[in-house]
Structure 1
Amino acid sequence: MKKKVAIIVLLIVFLLLFERFYFFILKQIYPLKFSESISRYSSEIGVDPYLICAIIKSESNFNQYAVSKKGAVGLMQLSPLTAKWVAQKLKIQYSDEYLYDPDYNIKLGSWYIKYLLDYYSGDTKLAVAAYNAGMTNVNKWLSIKKRSTIEITEIPFKETNHFVRRVFKSYEMYKKLYPKTFKHIDY
């Protein structure tokens, strides 16, 4: 009887330690940096902060100096053309160099994903696909399907299909790993 109790106690201790280790490892894979800027702009603009985290993770892995092969820049990997357009809409000054500033990049990227969410009537999957592939492509896919939405499996661009899946996976992970980081607001 004492052996069974000892084994159960050891098992419970192991599971508790394993859970902490498990979350520690996951937080290394899914880091959270720039949370103050994410919180500020997601709140000001009215977009889910966990979606912003997921996009940043998927786009740059929180590297503010990231530059893609196509010239997208910073945390949220904004193309200079899109960023300039967003800056004009926000009536703020624009410079390509500003895109490396986390605060500036998160502000523009948050506004842009909110714009896409509004354009696609809150359809996050379409907004995230458009964030990656562009609105022209997404609108063409919708036109071909003669529907107002598509399933992730129907996204014809392999890169965009994988991007949308990564963002959705990251979104769920950020909500689980950092549940109290951001104030809850219904988006």
Structure 2
Amino acid sequence: MKKKVVLIALLLIFLLFFEQFYFLILKQLYPLRFTSSIKKHSKEINVDPYLICAIIKSESNFNQFAVSKKGAVGLMQLSPLTAKWVAHKLKLDYSEEKLYDPDYNILIGTWYIKYLIDYYRNDTRLAVAAYNAGMTNVNKWLYQKDRSTFEVDEIPFKETNHFVRRVFKSYEIYKKLYQDEFENGNY
């Protein structure tokens, strides 16, 4: 009987240690940086901060100096043309160098995803697809299907299909891992 109790106690200790180790590993795989900028801009623009985290994770893995093969820059991998347009809308000074500044990049990217969410009538899936593939492509897919939305499986661009899946997988993980990081709001 004592052996069973000792074995159960050891098993419980192992599981407790494993759970802490598991979350430690997950936090390495899903980092969270620049929280003050994410909090500030998601609140003022009214976007779910976990969505911003998931986009940053999927786009740059929180590398503020990331540059894609297509020239997208910074944490949220903004194309200079889109960033310049958003900066003009926000009446901000623009230079491509500013896109490496985490606060500036998060502001521009958060405003842009909010613009897309509003444009697609709160269909976040469409907004995320447009963030990756562009509004022209998403609008063309909708027109071809003669519908106002589509499932992730129906996204014809393999890269965009994977991007949307990554963002929403990351979104769920960020909500669980960092559930107390952002105050509850109406996003």
- Give the secondary structure class of the aligned counterpart of 1:112: helix
d(CA) in 2 for partners of 1:80, 1:3: 66
Match of 1:164 in 2: 164
- Give the secondary structure class of the aligned counterpart of 2:63: coil
Aligned positions of 1:1-187 closer than 5 A: 1-187=1-187
d(CA) in 2 for partners of 1:63, 1:2: 52
Which aligned segments of 4 or more residues in structure 1 are displaced greater than 3 angstroms? Answer: none
d(CA) in 1 for partners of 2:73, 2:145: 32
> Which consecutive unaligned segments of at least 5 residues does structure 2 have?
none
d(CA) in 2 for partners of 1:57, 1:86: 21
**Amino acid of the structure 1 residue aligned with 2:66:** A
Task: State the TM-score, normalizing by the size of structure 1.
Answer: 0.99
d(CA) in 2 for partners of 1:69, 1:37: 26
d(CA) in 2 for partners of 1:182, 1:24: 19
d(CA) in 2 for partners of 1:180, 1:120: 29
d(CA) in 1 for partners of 2:17, 2:180: 22
Q: CA RMSD in A?
A: 0.4
Using the TM superposition, give the Cα deviation of residue 120 of structure 1 relative to its aligned residue in structure 2, in angstroms. 0.4
**Amino acid of the structure 2 residue aligned with 1:39:** K
1:132-171 deviation line (CA, Å, top 9, x unaligned): 0000000000000000000000000000000000000000
**Amino acid of the structure 1 residue aligned with 2:70:** K
d(CA) in 1 for partners of 2:180, 2:91: 33
d(CA) in 2 for partners of 1:90, 1:158: 33
1:2-40 deviation line (CA, Å, top 9, x unaligned): 111111100100000000000000000000000110000
Using the TM superposition, give the Cα deviation of residue 186 of structure 1 relative to its aligned residue in structure 2, in angstroms. 2.1
> Which consecutive unaligned segments of at least 5 residues does structure 1 have?
none
**Amino acid of the structure 2 residue aligned with 1:102:** P
1:47-78 deviation line (CA, Å, top 9, x unaligned): 00000000000000000000000000000000
Using the TM superposition, give the Cα deviation of residue 114 of structure 1 relative to its aligned residue in structure 2, in angstroms. 0.3
1:97-124 deviation line (CA, Å, top 9, x unaligned): 0000000000000000000000001111
d(CA) in 2 for partners of 1:186, 1:106: 19
**Amino acid of the structure 1 residue aligned with 2:130:** A
